[in-house]
Structure 1
Amino acid sequence: MSGKAAAAMSPAQSNGQLFTIGLVTAWYSSNIGVLLLNKYLLSNYGFKYPIFLTMCHMTACSLFSYVAIAWLKIVPMQFIRSRVQFMKIAALSLVFCGSVVSGNVSLRYLPVSFNQAVGATTPFFTAVFAYLMTLRQESWVTYITLIPVVTGVIIASGIISSVRGEPSFHLFGFIMCIGATAARALKSVLQGILMSSEGEKLNSMNLLLYMAPIAVVFLLPATIIMEENVVGTTIALARQDFKIIWYLLFNSSLAYFVNLTNFLVTKHTSPLTLQVLGNAKGAVAVVISILIFRNPVSVTGMAGYTLTIIGVILYSESKKRNKGS
């Protein structure tokens, strides 16, 4: 009887596994897709307006978030309860803007492969900010695992080598990429501090619903001041090649889809599975970007990136064991 019951359950389990695989595939596709399209627009296509591009992303996230929550009811609507909570969300939004804009700026100067190598050092910055802002200490083993994370990027960038490790290394792009990675880690730590009380916690979809329009308010004056006549330039580009409009619309939609699929994958898998998938995603993005953009990557650069990924995996394993103990 139990065998029949198990057999009866297998189709449902199989469907559940297929659903999860579909979610992960959608998450990978949207995440890597928006990264590669950002690189194409900002570097290869010549659309040199990273702040405006980020504002397009945030506008799409504002609209799609409202549709997903208010109309489609993917998650229940959560409301801002106080002015203090609003100010906390605004602070998170400002840091988030800095992260996305810096990341997009770096893509103008760095290949996706090197961008991903630097981005993999997020755990290092998270550990640093967590210690500085909350005095939370990790085990000494966890800190040791951060050594290969940072060393790998140093090797990949060629900072300690007389022969440049990364053929496409660009100092300003590297600084912007480090800034984006640090800001991403800072947002993560700030979110844990600012939204820690039970009455202020928001799920990631509702947090995006409120952060995105605030980000647009921050980015609009920055775009006007720093990227003068971007609208006129975009219209002129569209007259020459209307595909730029479709690129921007599709790219902005993908930016929201990244957040949606990340939320769904988090919901349907374990945190450990998410960490492993995230590490693998970076490696997949590197391989695909090299195949598409044909950017030169040295053996030293790949060795450095591999060392960083190994460090991230060891860091994740150390964190998991500390939580279990």
Structure 2
Amino acid sequence: MKNFAYVRATSAEDAVKRSQTAENSQFIAGGTNLVDRLKVFLDEPAQLIDISRLDLKQIEVTAEGGIRIGALASNTAVADHPQIRRDYPLLSRAILSGASQQIRNVATVGGNLLQRTRCPYYYDTVFTCNKRQPGDGCAALDGINRMHAILGASDACLAVHPSDMCVALAALDAVVEVVSNAGRRQIPFSDFHRLPGEAPERDTNLETGELIAAVILPPMPFAKTGVYLKLRDRASYSFALVSVAAAVDVAGDRIRDVRLALGGVAHKPWRSPLSEAFLKGKPATVKTFQQGAEMALEGAKPLTHNGFKVNMAKRAIKRALTISAAGGGLA
């Protein structure tokens, strides 16, 4: 890797200020994804700003009854937190399905939000990749695209977002709090990540120099029935072919409210607001859940090698919704 300056920030504000001193600065905490990219020259920062010792690790109850998770809280701390396990179990299950214990001990919440695709064409510089080099082309269009997107893709990029945690956060209506020279602002999770469009090199809507400070989970009583279902080639921490985060609120025999998000199918965690709107007020039956699943996959555009994802996603949605409606539990 190329030489770079290394500095250690003393506060979130100090980290943001230091990021302005070099044109290509990056923050590093656990480094579980960034270091991999440095090793293969995908990232070549002029300056790395170590934020790992900042006071951003707290997990605490908000005044509204939700949870505020510091950006430097480890994945292990979040997955094991008693209130998260009780009130937001789908988040805990998503994290536990996403990586080994050793990685979870080091990886942070903020880093999880910022991890980049594991598309092999992005990592292998022999192939063209618009995410790595804008305007270069997308080798996955005519290549082996079994793991790639079926929703929200463009000819510029077919890569999928790799995170399990982020799929759960999308379903939970999380909010991302960021700090910059202009102060602090909050970004709804649905607006945090981007679809590729013609600028696949941009994964998020963060502005230059903005630092993630926390993720906030709003109160959601029916999230206690939440389910995270992950389908993958092997059980040992593979990335998802398809994943589903679902929570269903049932009153009597009717669906009062519902949240649904998919992973492994798009450039960002994929919410399905049309499907959610359709399900509200309907009978909590397998037939209804099947109809909601069909609606969630409307507009899917499978590629040469990943057409199986469409039916896989529909079945996974139906199963996750059914389990949540019955009270939750392991999927």
Class of the TM-score when normalised by the shorter of the 2 chains: under 0.3
Taking structure 1 as the reference length, the TM-score comes to: 0.25
Considering Cα pairs closer than 8 Å and 6+ residues apart, tell me whether 1 or 2 has the greater RCO.
1
Looking at secondary structure, tell me which structure has more strand per residue.
2
Looking at secondary structure, tell me which structure has more helix per residue.
1
Taking structure 2 as the reference length, the TM-score comes to: 0.25
